[in-house]
Chain A
Amino acid sequence: MDTRTSSAQRILQGFVRSVVPVLLALIVSALIMLAIGASPTEFFAGVWKYGVTGDNWQRSLVLMAPLVIVAVGLIVAFRGQLWNLGYNGQYLLGAVVASGLGPVLFGVMPAALATLIVFVVAVLAGAVWSLVPAILKARYGTNEIITSLVMSFIAVGVVNLLIKGVFKDPATTTPQTVVIPDDQLLPYIPGTEIHIGFVIAIVLAVVAQFVLSRTSFGLRVDIFGASPKAARHVGLNSTWMVILLFALSSGLIAFAGSIDILGQFSYQRADWDPRYGDAVMPLVFLARFRPIASLPFVAFYAVLATGGTLAAQQAGVNVDFLLVIVGLILLFMTITEYIGERRRLGQSYLPAGLRRTVTSLVRPSRPGRVSAFAPLAAPVDPADPADPGPTDPAATERTRA
């Protein structure tokens, strides 16, 4: 009974800590829009109109597919406290496998088999690309944030080279890959225009949730994430753990890229980079690295992004304003987290210095009991409270210097 109440409290608290930053971000972004002369009501109405109403909700769900898979990929690494920030490159690598290899394969074999091969190769490409940061981290303790990021830049360059080179569609002048015909793309869920990648993404999230929270592997990941020392103590092989988690994470993100090409875009242009990971990363933090919990946040962002593009134009702000909202979510998340943590520890919300200033403003005079004890000590020149007295040679030295 006792534990149940506390776990219910924890869920409630997690909910509050997750939703409050989003609300605050929306409020502040509305204020910013007012300040720059745009209409927040028009913007949010637009988001609703173009992101949800009519058949637009289907477009939002289509966008959700890659976002959810990227989220799961990030969660797998982040749970182990491995900060895989190479998601943009990993996503594009997976995408270019689909858009470059796809047209070739679809020409020589049945679509289902070709799709399967594309997926496998995409996952492998992502996993292999992550070996560099993973091995550097495992063997030499190199900071994986830097290495994965740098590997991402290289991946973006390589992908562009491929699209401008071997994968370029000779029939067009713009650097882009051959368009995959509609009948070879991923099928739609019957009755909708949502490709089955969405279903795959949801299934992946559910499976990841189960594996991470209910199995021995999930517990090992959590131990590794909580303390590499404890992991070593219970006999986990940290080298393999780093390589495995990085490969899983990177492979999943590359998978998202390939599913996006085969489900939605059907070809890829050079210098195209949707940067899904940038938007998803704060969301997985909000979801406390729980795959299922990330779903509503990703859905929220998918609607915001789908409807926001048109809505932003109508409301008179730049499309980049969407990233401002994401940035505000991150900012308020940090603040909520700080306050929540202090609350948990029973401390004042104010930093110590500020609190003293505030209390001294409220109660300017010190309590009288101090002076009551003053006669206990020898009198000292009140003009210099730091007067060290003649018995302190070290302090005299300080004054001389």
Chain B
Amino acid sequence: MTTTTTSEVISLRGITKAFPGVVANDDISLDIVSGQVHCLLGENGAGKSTLISILAGMQQPDSGTVSIGGQPVDISSPKVAVDLGIGVVHQHSTLVPAFTVLENLMLGDSGVMRDTKRATQRLGELAELLGVEIDPHALTSDLGLGQQQQVEIAKAMWKGSRLLVLDEPTSMLTPQAIEHLGESIARVKAQGLAVVLITHKLREAYAMGDCVTVLRGGRNVGHIGVDELASYSEEQAQDAILAAMFGDDLAAAGSDAVDLAGAGEAQRETAALDLSSRPVRLQLSGVTSRGPGHDVETEDVTLTVRAGEILGIAGIDGHGQQALSEVVAGQRPAASGTVVFDGEDITRTGVRSRQQLGVRYVTDDRLHEGTVGSMSVALNLVIKRIGQAPFWKSGRIQSKAVDIEADRLIAEYGIRTPSPATRAGTLSGGNIQKILLARELTGGAKLVVVNKPTYGLDLKTVHLVRELLIDFAADGGSVLLLSTDLDELIELSHRIEVISRGRLVGGVTNDGPGTAEKVGHYMTGAIEGTD
């Protein structure tokens, strides 16, 4: 750990940060050296985000110190962080869509008058440094996600940077955009900046990182130094990181751990299915949706899901997945086209009737759409059956019936909650997802639309959720699986369709190696080709 280079070091010592009920960071110490890419690995909830928000000045540690080049610094606000040259690219876009690139970059400028000339010049320098071309006057909403991310990086380095933090930068990018990003990171590194790269994919850590630190349960559980990592083969590095990530759980998680950590190539885990023999469960013909907001709508989507089939929908986030799931669930009207379920035209049927027919929807916004956080777990479990017997009789709630149902589902799905009366919002993301699945997969479910079902969950729950979906399909249920995680789609789906800008641009039968490349080909062709 004793780095003896002459380059500058940002040292974190004994960083501890506790939130009620959880110690997010427990005595974490690490050194970030300029001119190196430092990978932070760990599953969700390991404390990566907390550590980053401490570096970004958004949280203050309960104890511990941060020092830059030996000088202790008090990063008391995001402004201080920026002044110290710490730039953070957050996982989700922080750009204002209605502003131009230049306006977004100038948001943090402190002068009274806007100095457009200087800003344009600065953007030019940064674009050259990153090796990208950015049109200063393009609206950010018109840019592709890869380009938006380049703007985010430029924004993070706007005031001059000594440390660039990238929080899961690849999670929404196509393989090609990831390659671009890797090149930009290499150039930034060559300029002598320190880079912290947060990821949960081992492959990326090995490909892009100079050294690796693994966090688990808020603790620093493993560090692979520069020389060590360079001397390892990819396989050795994987083993070392996996051992640190899972600790004693490694044996229990077994080969799944390798898949879950994104180390190996994904393979289909669902049983093969003779599709032509199965009855058609859901048929969309030329469906164009019409929603209330400015979302990407589905355009002329035609697809078929058969009984027992898992149909995957691949695509970059925000390319009409939400519109597609909502138009099937009945939350969004179809402007044209028909939705046929089990031979019945349900294009004009509302959410509640579809729910009773067996059409279910596990939304990706579990906190604000899928559950009502201020209400009890029990109520959330029956929330889609409001007014129905036996939970309501002549409009009055029957608490006993609700509690019995809640206890049953809590036991069956292993929802960890202090009691059925606990407010759903206080549970962890994994348990909230279990509430959604318990509600949507039971009580006569025939087709379930799942949007990003494992996003942001810890690895054990990820595994459980995938098992539940596989079992549901094995019992004859149909699944429309929308995901941005290609590995997940390949593990679960029988067929994969690719969505781009609301249109289905190609389909692949998932029957052997090479599926990822084919899907990637459609994604790249559709997205990068039009940029």
Contact = CB atoms under 8 A, between A and B. Distances in A.
A219 interface: yes
Given A377-B67, A380-B70, A353 B386 contact: no
Nearest to A233: B369
Contact of B70 (A214, A235, A379, A401): A379
A374 B9 contact: no
Interface in B1-32: 2-3, 5-9, 11, 13-14, 19-20, 31
A398 to B, nearest CB: 4
Nearest to B31: A376
B369 A227 contact: yes
Given A389-B69, A395-B161, A219 B379 contact: yes
A227 B191 CA distance: 47
Contacts of A214: 396-397
B8 A378 contact: yes
A292 to B, nearest CB: 17
B42 to A, nearest CB: 23
A183 interface: no
Contacts of A235: 330-331, 350-352, 355, 384
A223 B387 CA distance: 13
Contact of B419 (A3, A352, A387, A394): A3
Given A376-B2, A378-B69, A391-B35, A230 B419 contact: no
Given A373-B67, A375-B70, A233 B397 contact: no
Nearest to A384: B71
Contact of A376 (B11, B192, B383): B11
A388 B160 contact: yes
A234 B83 CA distance: 47
B8 A391 contact: yes
Interface residues of A, number: 50
A366 interface: yes
A216 B385 CA distance: 10
Contact of A226 (B375, B387, B422): B375
B383 A369 contact: no
Contacts of B452: none
A398 B118 CA distance: 11
B370 A233 contact: yes
A217 interface: yes
Nearest to A238: B292
A353 B76 contact: yes
Contact of B13 (A7, A223, A369, A397): A369
The majority secondary structure among interface residues of chain B is: loop
B368 interface: yes
Interface string B237-265: 00000000000000000000000000000
B514 interface: no
A394 B395 contact: no
A226 B372 contact: yes
A320 interface: no
B73 interface: yes
Nearest to B379: A219
Contacts of B355: 235
B370 A377 contact: no
Contact of A382 (B7, B71, B368): B71
A363 to B, nearest CB: 12
Interface string B183-194: 000000001110
Contact of A388 (B72, B125, B162, B392): B162
Nearest to B8: A389
Interface in B407-438: 418-419, 421-422
A387 B361 CA distance: 54
B159 interface: yes
A54 interface: no
A142 B472 CA distance: 43
Contacts of B162: 388-389, 392, 394-395
A392 B383 contact: no
B44 interface: no
A364 interface: no
A385 B384 contact: no
Contacts of A388: 85, 160, 162
B85 A394 contact: yes
Contacts of A395: 85, 160-162
Contacts of A275: none
B81 to A, nearest CB: 12
B363 interface: yes
A314 interface: no
Contacts of B74: 356
A396 interface: yes
A226 to B, nearest CB: 5
A366 B83 CA distance: 22
B372 A370 contact: no
A190 interface: no
A108 interface: no
B371 interface: yes
B83 A386 contact: yes
B374 interface: yes
A191 interface: no
Given A353-B76, A370-B65, A376 B9 contact: yes
Interface string A196-238: 0000000000000000001111011011001101101111000
A395 to B, nearest CB: 4
Contact of B193 (A375, A378, A386, A394): A394
B90 interface: no
Contact of B386 (A216, A346, A377, A380): A216
Contacts of A2: 418-419
A393 interface: yes
Interface string A95-138: 00000000000000000000000000000000000000000000
Contacts of A171: none
Contact of A377 (B11, B192, B397): B11
Interface in B342-390: 350-352, 355, 361, 363, 365, 368-375, 379, 383-384, 386-387
A377 B9 contact: yes
B314 to A, nearest CB: 24
Contacts of B68: 377, 380, 385
B70 A377 contact: yes
Contacts of A382: 71
A345 B396 CA distance: 34
Contact of A391 (B7, B60, B125, B365): B7
Contacts of A230: 368-372, 383
A346 B62 CA distance: 13
A219 B77 CA distance: 41
A388 B86 CA distance: 11
Contact of B160 (A226, A229, A397): A397
A229 B369 contact: yes
Contact of A398 (B11, B35, B159, B384): B159
B122 interface: yes
Interface in A66-91: none
Contacts of A217: 395
4 cross-chain pairs, A with B, having the tightest CB-CB distances, nearest first: A235-B351, A391-B192, A398-B160, A235-B352
12 contacts: A219-B397, A222-B372, A232-B331, A235-B352, A353-B76, A370-B13, A370-B65, A376-B2, A380-B71, A394-B129, A395-B160, A401-B118
Given A234-B352, A235-B352, 18 more contacts: A215-B392, A222-B375, A223-B375, A230-B371, A233-B363, A234-B386, A235-B384, A353-B77, A366-B72, A378-B5, A378-B8, A380-B8, A385-B71, A389-B8, A394-B129, A394-B193, A397-B122, A398-B160
Interface of B: 2-3, 5-9, 11, 13-14, 19-20, 31, 34-35, 60, 65, 67-74, 76-77, 83-85, 118, 122, 125, 129, 157, 159-162, 191-193, 330-331, 350-352, 355, 361, 363, 365, 368-375, 379, 383-384, 386-387, 392, 395-397, 418-419, 421-422
